[in-house]
């Protein structure tokens, strides 16, 4: 599991995908979430605006598992 550090209290799933280097640009988020199954804390979620907080785990088949961690 790879830690992805955020500087704010929360981050959206679309922003997270770019920060984790899963997608190249924020504009790809909608397409990516339609094409791939993304799980947040074990539940399927395809909303790019889904809010993620420190401790949340994002799983993407073929890309791995990522844990949101806070810099603070």
Position 50 scores a pLDDT of 93
Assign domain 2-70 one CATH number from 2.40.33.10, 3.10.290.10, 3.30.360.10, 3.30.565.10. Answer: 3.10.290.10
Distance of alpha carbon 31 from the chain centroid: 14
Longest dimension (CA), the chain: 33
Q: How far apart are the first and last CA of the chain?
A: 20
Position 67 scores a pLDDT of 95
Per-residue pLDDT, averaged over 10-17, amounts to 93
Which tokens is 36 given?
């791939």
Q: What single DSSP character describes residue 42?
A: T
Position 1 scores a pLDDT of 86
Neighbours of 31 (CB within 10 A): 11
Position 12 scores a pLDDT of 93
Q: Please write the tens of the pLDDT for every residue from 15-69.
A: 999 999 899 887 889 899 999 999 999 999 999 899 999 999 999 998 999 999 9
């Amino acid at each position: 599991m790879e830690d992805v550090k955020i500087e704010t209290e929360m981050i959206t799933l679309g922003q997270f995908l770019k920060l984790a280097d899963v997608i190249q640009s924020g504009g790809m988020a909608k397409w990516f979430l339609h094409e791939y199954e993304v799980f947040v804390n074990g539940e399927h979620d395809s909303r790019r605006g889904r809010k993620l907080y420190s401790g949340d785990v994002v799983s993407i088949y073929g890309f791995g598992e990522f844990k949101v961690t806070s810099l603070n």
